[in-house]
Amino acid sequence: MKILVAVDLATHPATDLATHPATHLAVILAEATEKIVGKVESLALALPAEVWVLHVALPDPDFVGYKAGPQSERDFLAKKFHEEHRQVQSISSRLQEKGIVATALLVQGATVETIIKEASKLAVDMIVVGSHGRGMMAQLLIGSVSQGVLQQAKCPVLVIPTNKRA
């Protein structure tokens, strides 16, 4: 069995500056990711399943209104991309240490489309997502990414509750 896990790692400048101190947001994300990875770990061990850990990096700067020039913008994005790469690798090594065949994937693109595309490319049997993302839609019943994945997925989708109420 093959499982594709979509994790949400990056901090989001547009929202975290507006509503959360960056550190606070990082903690929230870490908890959500931890919940998802923990569930996947026990499921993958039991089934057993091969796991792909996918993080979709945004293709463009999140926020185009700032004044910084192209060079510092490139530096910022490169650094962010590097950090996300390190995190997704560390999740995959953590699964590997438990004896699970795991692969880290970092792909740039639109989040939902990339998850769906990777899922069909790998012919996975299940996609795992968190119920709530970050950003403007966090207050909705279900996050926009899980909503989009549910609408377009051709395989079963396991939605892990990551909201505070759960």
1 touches another protein by CB under 8 A: yes
Q: Do residues 58 and 130 lie in contact, with contact meaning Cβ atoms separated by under 8 Å?
A: no
Q: How many residues does the chain have?
A: 166
Residues forming beta bridges with residue 129, ordered by sequence position? 159
Inter-residue contact 125 to 1 (CB < 8 Å): yes
One residue of 2, 10, 20, 39 binding another protein per CB under 8 A: 39
Task: Work out whether 47 is an interface residue with another protein (CB under 8 A).
Answer: yes
Among 25, 101, 138, 155, binds another protein (CB under 8 A): 155
Closest to 32 (Cα-Cα) out of 123, 131, 117, 112? 131
Q: Which helix (H) or strand (E) holds 129?
A: strand 126-130
Among 37, 131, 139, 145, binds another protein (CB under 8 A): 131
Binding status of residue 147 toward another protein by CB under 8 A: yes
The dihedrals phi and psi of 34, each to the nearest 5 degrees, come to -60, -45
Q: By CB under 8 A, is residue 33 in contact with another protein? A: no
Q: Which of 5, 7, 53, 126 binds another protein (CB under 8 A)?
A: 126
**Considering CB under 8 A, how many residues would be counted as binding another protein?**
25
Q: Is 156 among the residues that bind another protein (CB under 8 A)?
A: yes
Distance CA 162, CA 166 (A): 7
Report the interface residues with another protein, using CB under 8 A: 1, 39, 43, 46-47, 123, 126, 131, 141-142, 146-147, 150-151, 153-161, 165-166
